[in-house]
């Protein structure tokens, strides 16, 4: 991707690294996250106009603490260290960092003592900031000076003006620092002299050019799920190369109600794309028969998808590329700070597991975009709001929302209940205000009374959560009247359900999905 200007974010294991990158993009400047051990030459080759060192869980004086290539400070471009990044900057340049007698976590008041362009546009010399550190700077290196402090931290903002190096002990990227975005903008636009040219129009123009150059006259196949990422990827590639793209849509029998029809009508109908539809319902359900372990279900679904997709893609003669809707969080969450796979919470069903003997080159046109950017791209490409703003849906589909073994009868119950949930959420205006809203069918039956007759039917749980990124979530406090109506509709219209419960668990400790 030919990006005009960018800021490099070196990730030292901070939970906020993605948030830093997002804040930079809000300034209309492209951002890219690099591993902490990336070389100075790699940063220089990326064309970055500035560098931000993230926070992290380590202490700079500990053995084995991640240390950047010191040559990044000699590239002649501005550097901003945040929290651990500030302490690294101080240590590398000869200052002193030690464990603090008084740790500082939470809100603090920053007192700005010196004028500097990093503070441009701030409403006053005192500002609320968010601290999270147990170490502190005891002395500054030569050439550095303090610009601001708190009651507990003398060197809360530092700089070396001659070398355009800055350090912040607090976190400007979090919402708990109300004016933090202004500081990040000042660094990007004033200190680094970025013009702010990053937008979807320029991205589309550059992407179309790059896709055409990479593919030439070769064909590309894409596994279309109907979700946001694969749909947007399909629309973008279609804009670039049209009929050179073939989308393969596999119905695994675990889809939402009428999902297959909607996908065919939109992509084969409205967009006139080459679409291969494969109904593999029987093979998926046969392999899932009797399997109750959620991780095992995911693996079976993933493996079967690979088998079906490989068979169908092999039939597309002349295809030399495999396209995926991989997004930036997928890329940077795939490995941990030490380069090892992150701790397993649940495996992900993705075309990325396709065997190497397919001999297809990978095309991932969304791999530098965050989710909100993908949605905006979809709008620019003419996708309907129903697709662009669709809530996350798990790759293994309804199999992970049916607790226990998947079978046609229970899937039909869950599919009908799910359709009512989505319909009512949209009708009452709650769907686009929440992160996810769905039903979970439990392997539990309870006694009920319907029409003076005793019933013994399934329990259905409603899971409706609010979140900004899916990393944390809280259950949605929807009106009782709405929940009562939703429960009544499900019990009255879905045969096999006689009780509805509402999940009040946040994430953490729970996950959003039940399996």
What is the SS3 string spanning 373-415?
HHHHHHHHCCCCHHHHCCCCCCCCHHHHCECCCCCHHHHHHHH
Q: Is 424 a catalytic residue?
A: no
Residue 214 annotated as catalytic: no
Q: DSSP alpha helices (H): ranges in 33-128?
A: 40-45, 84-92
What kind and span of H or E run contains 323? strand 319-323
| CB 395 within 8 Å of CB 350 | yes
Q: What dihedral angle (degrees, nearest 10) is formed by the CA atoms of 52, 16, 433, 401?
A: 130
Burial class (CB in 10 A: 0-12, 13-18, 19+), 64: exposed
What are 470's two structure tokens? 């899916």
Out of 173, 304, 312, 513, which one is annotated catalytic?
A: 173
Pick the catalytic residue from 5, 27, 104, 171.
Answer: 171
Classify burial at 45, counting beta carbons within 10 Å of its beta carbon; exposed 0-12, middle 13-18, buried 19 or more.
exposed
Q: What is the largest CA-CA distance in the chain?
A: 85
Which candidate in 27, 83, 188, 247 is catalytic?
83
Bridge partners (DSSP) listed for residue 439? 462
Question: What does the DSSP 8-state code read for residue 485?
Answer: H
The helix or strand, by DSSP H or E, that contains position 442, with its residue range, turns out to be strand 436-450
What's the rounded Cα separation, in Å, for the pair 443 and 422? 22
Q: Pairing between strand 79-82 and 165-168?
A: parallel
- Catalytic (active site) residue 171: yes
- Tell me 27's DSSP state: T
Active-site annotation, residues: 83, 171, 173
């Amino acid at each position: 991707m030919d990006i005009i200007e960018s800021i490099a974010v070196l990730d030292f294991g901070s939970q906020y690294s993605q948030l830093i990158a997002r804040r930079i993009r809000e300034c209309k400047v492209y951002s890219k996250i690099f591993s902490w051990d990336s070389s100075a030459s790699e940063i220089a080759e990326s064309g970055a106009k500035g560098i931000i060192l993230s926070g992290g869980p380590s202490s700079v004086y500990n053995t084995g603490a991640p240390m950047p290539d010191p040559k990044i400070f000699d590239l002649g471009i501005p550097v901003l260290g945040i929290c651990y990044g500030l302490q690294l900057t101080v240590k590398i340049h000869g200052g002193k960092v030690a464990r603090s007698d008084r740790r500082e976590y939470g809100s603090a008041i920053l007192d700005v003592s010196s004028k500097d362009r990093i503070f441009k546009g701030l409403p006053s010399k005192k500002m609320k900031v968010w601290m999270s550190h147990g170490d502190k700077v005891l002395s500054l290196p030569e050439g550095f000076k303090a610009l601001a402090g708190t009651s507990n931290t003398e060197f809360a903002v530092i700089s070396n003006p001659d070398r355009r190096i800055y350090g912040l002990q607090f976190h400007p990227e979090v919402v708990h620092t109300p004016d933090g975005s202004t500081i990040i903008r000042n660094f990007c636009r004033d200190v680094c002299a970025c013009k702010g040219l990053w937008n979807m129009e320029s991205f589309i123009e550059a992407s179309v050019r790059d896709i055409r150059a990479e593919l030439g006259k070769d064909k590309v196949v894409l596994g279309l799920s109907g979700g946001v990422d694969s749909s947007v990827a399909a629309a973008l590639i279609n804009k670039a190369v049209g009929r050179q793209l073939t989308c393969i849509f596999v119905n695994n029998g675990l889809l939402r109600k009428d999902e297959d029809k909607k996908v065919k009508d939109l992509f084969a109908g409205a967009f006139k794309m080459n679409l291969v539809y494969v109904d593999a319902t029987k093979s998926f359900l046969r392999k899932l028969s009797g399997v109750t372990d959620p991780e095992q279900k995911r693996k079976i679904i993933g493996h079967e998808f690979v088998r079906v997709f490989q068979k169908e893609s092999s039939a597309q003669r002349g295809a030399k590329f495999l396209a995926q809707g991989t997004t930036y969080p997928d890329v940077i969450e795939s490995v941990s700070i030490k380069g090892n796979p992150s701790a397993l919470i649940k495996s992900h069903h993705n075309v990325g597991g396709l065997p190497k003997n397919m001999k297809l080159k990978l095309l991932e046109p969304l791999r530098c975009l965050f989710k909100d950017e993908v949605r905006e791209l979809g709008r620019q490409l003419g996708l309907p709001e129903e697709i662009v703003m669709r809530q996350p849906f798990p790759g293994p589909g309804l199999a992970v929302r049916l607790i226990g073994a998947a079978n046609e009868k229970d899937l039909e119950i869950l599919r009908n209940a799910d359709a009512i949930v989505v319909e009512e959420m949209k009708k009452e205006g709650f769907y686009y205000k929440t992160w996810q809203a769905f039903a979970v069918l439990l392997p539990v039956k309870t006694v009920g009374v319907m029409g003076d007759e005793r019933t013994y039917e399934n329990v259905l749980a409603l899971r409706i959560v609010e979140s900004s990124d899916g990393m944390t979530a809280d259950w949605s406090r929807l009106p009782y009247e709405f929940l009562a109506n939703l429960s009544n509709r499900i019990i009255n219209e879905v045969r096999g359900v006689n009780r509805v419960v509402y999940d009040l668990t946040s994430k953490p400790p729970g996950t959003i999905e039940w399996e």
